[in-house]
Chains A and B, each alone.
Chain A
Amino acid sequence: MNSYRLGIDVGGTHTDAVILDNAYQVIAEVKTTTTTDVSEGIYKAMKEVVAASGVLASEIDFAMLGTTHCTNAIVERRRLNKIAIIRIGAPATLAIKPLTGVPDDLKNIIGKHIHIVRGGHEFDGREIVPLDESHIYEIAKEIKGQADSVAVTSVFSPVSTAHEIRTAEILEEVLGTEIPISLSHEIGSVGLLERENATILNASIVEVARSTADGFVKALKKEGIHAKVFFGQNDGTLMSVEYTVKYPILTIACGPTNSLRGAAYLSDYPDALVVDVGGTTTDVGVLIDSFPRQSSLAVEIGGVRTNFRMPDIASIGLGGGTIVELHEDGSFSIGPESVGYLLSEKGIVFGGNTLTTTDVAVAVGVANIGNRELLAHLDLSVLKKVYARMIEMAEATIDKMKTSADPVPVILVGGGSILFPAQLQGASEVIKPKNSGVANAIGSAISQVSGQIEKIFKTDELGREQTVALAKELACQEAVDAGADPGKLVIVDIDEVPLSYLPGNATKIRVKAAGELLDNKLVSNS
């Protein structure tokens, strides 16, 4: 019996869907417009791609969704949970209250219940002061019926989780187990304000994630697809529906990650720069061992500063639909405004009257779509200058993302990749893989399943190297238990926090391993 997988990626302009067979060959691909109600577009793309593939619904065993639902909810400030924010850290931390620096429009929505409680830990694991449990009981009673999601952040919880866990117990005791509780140590690392912000955002989008997941599962069932459902996350690995509903913030940058991972797969280059040219922007990211390079700087989501591990992406306002303006004196400007998905109506080569970057690429002979004759009235020498400037913009961004001066392979993907030529400065070669228009959906479909462990090790016993090796082994086992192929595992993340208050050079190690999904049908026929 055949086994297929469905991959869907929702982007700002397009929703893409692909069906792959178990050798990851593309059977069918579909590109539809992202709808205002994002779910509609997903169902449409899903139906179309299944129909186009000729595959039976019963043969689709895995369905992967990379979606912007959660990102949009934060950026648009819509459908957010009514949250309560609890910070454990007084008497420390009072000089900067929760949500400081968060834009007012968002603060007005999520800042209704803010509490700072006595407790938290020192860097060495001692208590700053004991946790004020009676205060937590009071807060729990106060927010009962008022808040439907709670964010809890304690000082130095990456070193000691005790106060966050005790707080969650008290909240459950009073509020019941139905109210989701986001604990900061499960979400971020050291850096209180940024970790707290990420935890608050997570608590705010729990409901959006739940309804999106439910909707997707229902829609699949309606089509007769009884697949195992996964969501894509920032690091290019998959999470189950249950996990997604608990940690929705982890879906926040899956779009760029999927595009990078898809590009790596399509081109077979594990180390390269990926230039993803969309309708409005060009995003440049870096692949290291087939995974995106993570940003080392604070990342803002919807104006909120977090310390989340996100792919390091440089974005410029230069896409296939970017508007070009020619001025009377021979000067010109490029973007950042774009006609977006209306390119096929508004672009001059398609019979419209807005000059876009795509028109310019056609004029200079790099792209070959639409009707070139329609550009005859424009001064080619000016368009050549515009095109040279477009290339400069892309090359400067490529150069900025490189870690050294040596030329590297550049993979061009995305619908707008026709803008660029086969040679770029700083690139050892330029690769335009087949199916590159739907690299995102492919990245979603080929995503790997992961397993994570977090444990305190005494590094004195085995030595640091051996301890880390042991931690990796345990993480790999978790990944295999989650359904990964034991033969194809990689370690995607390691985080070490030394715990100087414990004897024996105790270190908390967090390791995440990932591998391709093992197809049970091929192994056991079950």
Chain B
Amino acid sequence: MRLIGKEEIENIAIGAALLGTGGGGDPYIGKLMALQAVEEYGPIQLLNVDEVPDDALIVPTAMMGAPTVMVEKIPNGEETVQAFEALESYVGKKIFATMPIEAGGVNSMIPLALAARLGIPVVDVDGMGRAFPELQMVTFHLDGVTATPIVLGDEKGNSIVLNTVDSVWAERIARSATMEMGGSLMMAIYPMDGRTLKQSGIPNTLTLEEKIGEKVSQAVKNNEDPVQEILELTSGHILFKGKVADIDRKTEGGFAKGTASIQGLSEYQDQECKLHFQNEHLLAEVNEKTVCVTPDLIAVIDSDTGIPITTEGLRYGARCTVIGMPCDPKWRTEKGIEVTGPRYFGYDFDYCPLDELLAKGEN
């Protein structure tokens, strides 16, 4: 167990943006929420996953609804408190700790704000090791853990416990309730015991985010390039260096889809990289050959600032380094690939791990 405060939060926000692989939304609001909560309630206890008792109840928290509503109707911070209370009385057990469901954007910060407020620990673990767009894309789902009971809470004090027959119904009811309750709310989801968490979670995500953030802030301060340090921390590889030459975006089925073309610079002169995204970066091609594909991670780092760029933040002329990072081994299983692999996202080819793709490219 260790305590984390403002500086750690700033660093975690940067690291989460990198592991968010271009998605997860702008972490700005989430970060401010966490910072204010720490200011008001004091530092947060961060627990290693081994420190969680097997029978303890752990409940991840995340936002639900439209990020565009959340930037106008800022949360009040009590939404999840009510959701947690409702869940506790429903299952008849105290919640021991919370945790993030994913790495990236708003959802890596919300559990921190909540933990400070409730005085409960945050477990250094998550369910993706990156960001994904859909609720079932978590490692818990691979092990048969259900998302329900889900509890939704709004700023007015309403909370709803959803105990549905399956996650499709949960999603359907939650969506219409979200609209009725004001478009943006907080949820408690995937409640599980410590034993399940140890087996199904991806450990040390927050610490990794913090280390990445630390290196990036340090590099920014010294006007250095943080890429090498990031690669060491994440076992990543540089896929490409260049400048954004074109971006083609469209909104389809509620997702921000598109393709960015990057023109090579220095050792990549005269080469082209294409990044395909749907909220997150899913596929990177160099000279029309796949170099990295989901569930492996693709991140874009601004060469001028050293800061990760989100898919919304990509703009013509930005000089950047594209890096690939191996995903957690849990995603490389048959079920993992079925849930988050290229075919699920509509690409007509099989998953091939990053290192194999790179080895092929060199031959």
Contact = CB atoms under 8 A, between A and B. Distances in A.
A399 B317 contact: yes
Interface stretch (B33-41, B229-237, B348-356): B33-41
Contact of B71 (A90, A97, A192): A192
B86 interface: no
Interface in A439-470: none
B216 to A, nearest CB: 19
Interface stretch (B72-80, B120-128, B207-215): B72-80
B183 interface: yes
A27 interface: no
A378 interface: no
B74 A96 contact: yes
B318 A96 contact: no
User: Of B245, B313, B316, which is in contact with the most chain A CB atoms at under 10 Å from its CB?
Assistant: B316
B33 A95 contact: yes
B182 interface: yes
A107 to B, nearest CB: 13
B119 interface: no
Interface in B112-152: 113
A123 B32 contact: no
Interface stretch (A40-48, A241-249, A402-410): A402-410
B73 A192 contact: yes
Contact of A89 (B35, B73, B245, B318): B73
Contact of B317 (A128, A156, A400): A400
B69 interface: yes
A92 B73 contact: yes
B177 interface: no
A376 interface: no
A94 B77 CA distance: 7
A304 B149 CA distance: 42
A22 interface: no
A193 interface: yes
B156 interface: yes
A325 to B, nearest CB: 16
A122 interface: yes
- The B interface, classified by DSSP as helix, strand, loop or mixed, is loop
A219 interface: no
B33 A128 contact: no
Contacts of B36: 95-97, 100
A100 B243 CA distance: 34
A240 B12 CA distance: 48
Given A91-B157, A97-B36, A101-B32, A128 B73 contact: yes
A390 B126 CA distance: 48
Contact of B156 (A94, A124, A128, A155): A128
A124 B68 CA distance: 13
Contacts of A402: 316-317
A120 B74 CA distance: 11
Chain A binding surface SS class: loop
A266 B350 CA distance: 59
B256 interface: no
B301 to A, nearest CB: 16
B29 interface: yes
Contacts of A101: 32
A403 B74 contact: no
Given A100-B32, A128-B182, A92 B75 contact: yes
Interface in A368-422: 399-405
B73 A123 contact: yes
Contacts of A123: 66, 69, 72-73, 182-183
Interface string B24-59: 000001001101110000000000000000000000
A124 B73 CA distance: 12
A93 interface: yes
B71 A93 contact: no
Nearest to B32: A96
Given A95-B113, A96-B29, A155 B73 contact: yes
Interface string A85-129: 000011111111100110000000000000000001011100011
A437 to B, nearest CB: 29
B71 A191 contact: yes
B35 A100 contact: yes
A122 B182 contact: yes
Interface string B73-97: 1111110000000000000000000
B328 interface: no
Given A123-B69, A400-B318, A402-B317, A91 B76 contact: yes
A405 B35 CA distance: 41
A190 B184 CA distance: 15
A304 to B, nearest CB: 14
Interface residues of A, number: 31
Nearest to B68: A190
B102 interface: no
A122 B183 contact: yes
Interface string A56-99: 00000000000000000000000000000000011111111100
A405 B317 CA distance: 9
A90 B76 contact: yes
Contacts of B263: 405
Nearest to A159: B72
A95 B76 contact: yes
B280 interface: no
Contacts of B32: 96, 100-101, 193
A89 B183 CA distance: 15
B317 A401 contact: yes
Nearest to A126: B182
**Among A91, A92, A156, A193: residue with most chain B CB under 10 A:** A92
Contacts of A90: 76
Interface string A256-280: 0000000000000000000000000
Contacts of B316: 402-404
Interface string A295-333: 001000000000000000000000000000000000000
Contacts of A94: 74, 76-78, 155
Interface in A342-382: none
Tell me which of B69, B77, B317 has the highest count of chain A C-beta atoms within 10 A of its own C-beta: B317
Nearest to A156: B72
Contacts of B71: 190-193
Contacts of B171: none
Contacts of B313: 297
B239 to A, nearest CB: 22
Nearest to A399: B317
A405 B243 CA distance: 11
Contacts of B69: 123
Contacts of B35: 100
Contact of B74 (A93, A124, A399): A93
Interface in B143-200: 155-157, 182-183
A399 B316 CA distance: 9
A120 B76 CA distance: 13
B8 interface: no
A408 to B, nearest CB: 12
A95 B318 CA distance: 34
B246 A95 contact: no
Interface string A177-205: 00000000000001111000000000000
A128 B245 contact: no
B318 A93 contact: no
A176 to B, nearest CB: 32
10 contacts: A89-B74, A94-B77, A95-B113, A96-B33, A123-B69, A191-B71, A192-B74, A193-B74, A400-B318, A404-B316
Interface pairs A-B: 8 shortest CB-CB: A95-B77, A400-B317, A94-B76, A93-B74, A92-B155, A95-B33, A123-B183, A122-B182
Given A399-B317, A400-B318, 12 more contacts: A90-B76, A92-B182, A95-B36, A95-B37, A95-B113, A96-B36, A100-B35, A191-B71, A193-B29, A402-B316, A402-B317, A404-B316
Interface of A: 89-97, 100-101, 120, 122-124, 128-129, 155-156, 190-193, 297, 399-405
